[in-house]
C-alpha cells in the first residue's frame, strides 16, 4: 500500500471510510440501494480496495497445472502489488513479491499512478500488466525474465503466502489471515465433488472488458448461461429453476437445473445423480468465479486493470476420466467458443452499466443529481456488497516507516 492509510481516503467530497456513505447499501435485502457510484469510478476508491480488500484476502491467482515443472513461474499482480508463484524443485509452491534487482524505476513514474495497469518492459512492477506463465526454460541465468522477477538472489525476496484448494491456487499478502481452508468454508463443500474428480486444466484465454471488477462479478452471476445443455423447461406460471441457493460471508452460489448433457465429453464420475442434472455458478469473494457443470468446470479470475476495466482469466478443466482430451478436442473448442461469446455479451452489458455509473450525479447526467441510487435488485450483488462494505469499514493496525505528512512514498519495482 503506497498511500498512507492514516491520512484517509477522500474523493468527490466524500470520506470513503465513513459508515454513513454505505448506510443505504446495508439495509435489508429488497430495501438496500446499490453501492455509491464513486465505488466504480474513483482511483482513490481503488486505492482503498487495495488496502482493505486485495491485501487482506485470499486472492485466486491461477491453477496448479499452469506451472507443472520445477522452476515454472506464474506472475500475478494483486492490487498494487506485483508477486509471483513458482514451483520448487520439491514440487511445492512458493510466493514472492517481485523485485527488479537490476535497478528499474527508482520512484513510481507519473504515468503509472493513474490507476491503469500499463504495458512496460519492467513487468515485475505492481503497476504494470502481467505477462502469462513463464516456463523454467525462460528463467535461465542472466535472462531478462530471471532478472526482473527473481533477481540474482531469490532468497532475499519478501515472501507471500500461497495455498491451493484442489487445482485452484490462491495467494494472500496478509500474514495474519486465517488459512485458505478456513476462509473458503462452504465454497469448498460446494466444490468437493468436482475437486474429487481430479480436475485437469486443458485450455483457457484472457478477455478484458471495460467495466469495474465488481460489476463484472455481479453480471456473471446474474446473466451467465451454461453451454450445450438444455435448461429444464419451467411449468406454466412457475419460476425458472435458478436461484441463489446459498450465500455466506464470502461467497454466493446459483443453481441451474438441466434436462440433458451432450455426450462429447465424459461426465465427471464423482458426481451424484442430482449434480449430473445441474450446474452451479459460484462467486468466491473477491475475485473467483466458478461454473461447475457435469462434464467440465470453468474458473474466471477477475483482475482489475483499472477502475473501469477488468481482465477475465479463464481456464477450462475436465476430470481424470477425460483421458486424451486436449485443447484441440472438438468438445473443448466448442465450449471455449461458448464462454468467449458469453463473456463478450456480458461484457457489453457491464460496459453500459459502467458508463452510467461514470455519469451518475455529474453535470453530464443532471437528471440524477441529488437522487437516491436505485435499489439493488440482484441477490448476488447484494450479498457481495455487504462483504465489500464490511471489509472497507474494518479497522486495522498500520505500520509505516515514512513521515505521516508523506501521502505517497517513492517506490521502485
- CA 267 centroid distance within chain: 27
| Residue 235's pLDDT band (cuts 50, 70, 90) | very low
Tell me, yes or no, whether 408 lies in a domain.
no
CATH number at residue 67: 2.102.10
Tell me, yes or no, whether 307 lies in a domain.
yes
Tell me, yes or no, whether 1 lies in a domain.
no
> What is the distance in angstroms between the CA of the first residue and the CA of the last residue of the chain?
13
375 shares its domain with 261: yes
What is the pLDDT, as a whole number, of residue 166?
93
pLDDT, tens only, 353-374: 999 999 888 877 777 777 888 9
49 shares its domain with 194: yes
CATH number at residue 43: 3.90.380.10
Q: How far apart are CA 186 and CA 143, in angstroms?
A: 43
Q: How far apart are CA 230 and CA 310, in angstroms?
A: 30
Give the pLDDT mean for 2-12: 79
* Domain end residue (candidates: 155, 176, 197): 176
What is the pLDDT, as a whole number, of residue 413?
38
168 shares its domain with 193: no
Give the pLDDT mean for 123-134: 88
The mean pLDDT of the chain is: 87
122 shares its domain with 217: no
Give the pLDDT mean for 58-65: 97
Q: What 3-state class would DSSP assign to 315?
A: strand
> How many angstroms separate the Cα of 76 from the Cα of each of 130, 137, 321?
6, 19, 31
249 shares its domain with 322: yes
> Per the structure, how many domains does the chain have?
2
Helix (H) or strand (E) holding 310: strand 309-318
Q: What percent of the chain has pLDDT over 70?
A: 89
97 shares its domain with 230: no
152 shares its domain with 219: no
Is-contact 2 411, C-beta < 8 A?
A: yes
Q: How far apart are CA 79 and CA 48, in angstroms?
A: 10
CA torsion angle for 76, 247, 205, 118 (degrees, to 10)?
-40
105 shares its domain with 234: no
286 shares its domain with 343: yes
Q: Which of 206, 223, 219, 213 is nearest to 312 (CA)?
A: 206
* Helix/strand/coil (H/E/C) assignment for every residue in 323-365: CCCCCCCHHHHHHHHHHHHHHHHHHHHHHHHHHHHHHCCCCCC
212 shares its domain with 151: no
Give me the domain span that covers residue 68.
59-176
Tell me, yes or no, whether 403 lies in a domain.
no
Tell me, yes or no, whether 407 lies in a domain.
no
Q: How many residues does the chain have?
A: 413
Residue 405 in this model has a pLDDT that exceeds 70: no
* Domain end residue (candidates: 141, 176, 211): 176
283 shares its domain with 226: yes
32 shares its domain with 17: yes
Q: How many CA atoms lie within 13 A of 117 on its CB side?
A: 27
Q: What 3-state class would DSSP assign to 366?
A: helix
Q: Which residues pair with 86 in a beta bridge?
A: 73, 94
pLDDT, tens only, 292-322: 999 999 999 999 999 999 999 999 999 998 9
Tell me, yes or no, whether 2 lies in a domain.
no
pTM value is 0.91
Amino acid at each position: 500500500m503506497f498511500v498512507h492509510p492514516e491520512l484517509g481516503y477522500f474523493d468527490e467530497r466524500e470520506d470513503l471510510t465513513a459508515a454513513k456513505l454505505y448506510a443505504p447499501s446495508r439495509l435489508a435485502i429488497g430495501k438496500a440501494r446499490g453501492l455509491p457510484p464513486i465505488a466504480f469510478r474513483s482511483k482513490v476508491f481503488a486505492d482503498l480496495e487495495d488496502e482493505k480488500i486485495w491485501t487482506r484476502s485470499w486472492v485466486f491467482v491461477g491453477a496448479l497445472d499452469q506451472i507443472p515443472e520445477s522452476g515454472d513461474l506464474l506472475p500475478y499482480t494483486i492490487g498494487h502489488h506485483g508477486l509471483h508463484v513458482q514451483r520448487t524443485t520439491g514440487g511445492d509452491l512458493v510466493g514472492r513479491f517481485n523485485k527488479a534487482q537490476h535497478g528499474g524505476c527508482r520512484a513510481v513514474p507519473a504515468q503509472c499512478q493513474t490507476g491503469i495497469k500499463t504495458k512496460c518492459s519492467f513487468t515485475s512492477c505492481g503497476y504494470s500488466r502481467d505477462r502469462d506463465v513463464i516456463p523454467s526454460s525462460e528463467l535461465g541465468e542472466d535472462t531478462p525474465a530471471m532478472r526482473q522477477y527473481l533477481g540474482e538472489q531469490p532468497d532475499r525476496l519478501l515472501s507471500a503466502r500461497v495455498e491451493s484448494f484442489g487445482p485452484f491456487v490462491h495467494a494472500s499478502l496478509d500474514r495474519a489471515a486465517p488459512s485458505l481452508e478456513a476462509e473458503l468454508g462452504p465454497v469448498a463443500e460446494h466444490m468437493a465433488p468436482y475437486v474429487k474428480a481430479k480436475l485437469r486444466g486443458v485450455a483457457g484465454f484472457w478477455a478484458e472488458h471495460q467495466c469495474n471488477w465488481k460489476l463484472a462479478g455481479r453480471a456473471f452471476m446474474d446473466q451467465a448461461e451454461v453451454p450445450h445443455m438444455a435448461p429444464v423447461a419451467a411449468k406454466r406460471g412457475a419460476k425458472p429453476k435458478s436461484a441463489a441457493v446459498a450465500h455466506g460471508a464470502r461467497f454466493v452460489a446459483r443453481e441451474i437445473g438441466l434436462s440433458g448433457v451432450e455426450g462429447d465429453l465424459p461426465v465427471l464420475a464423482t458426481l451424484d445423480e442430482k449434480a449430473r442434472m445441474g450446474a452451479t455458478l459460484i462467486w468466491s469473494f473477491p475475485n473467483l468465479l466458478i461454473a461447475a457443470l457435469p462434464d467440465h468446470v470453468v474458473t474466471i479470475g477477475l483482475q482489475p486493470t483499472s477502475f473501469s476495466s477488468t481482465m477475465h482469466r479463464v481456464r477450462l478443466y475436465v476430470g481424470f476420466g477425460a483421458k486424451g482430451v486436449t485443447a484441440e478436442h472438438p468438445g473443448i473448442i466448442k465450449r471455449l467458443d461458448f464462454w468467449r461469446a458469453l463473456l463478450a455479451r456480458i461484457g457489453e452489458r457491464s460496459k453500459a452499466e459502467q458508463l452510467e455509473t461514470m455519469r451518475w450525479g455529474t453535470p453530464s447526467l443532471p437528471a440524477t443529481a441529488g437522487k437516491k441510487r436505485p435499489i439493488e435488485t440482484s441477490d448476488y450483488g447484494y450479498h457481495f456488497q455487504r462483504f465489500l462494505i464490511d471489509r472497507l469499514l474494518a479497522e486495522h493496525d498500520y505500520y509505516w516507516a515514512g513521515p505521516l505528512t508523506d501521502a505517497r512514498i517513492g517506490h521502485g519495482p
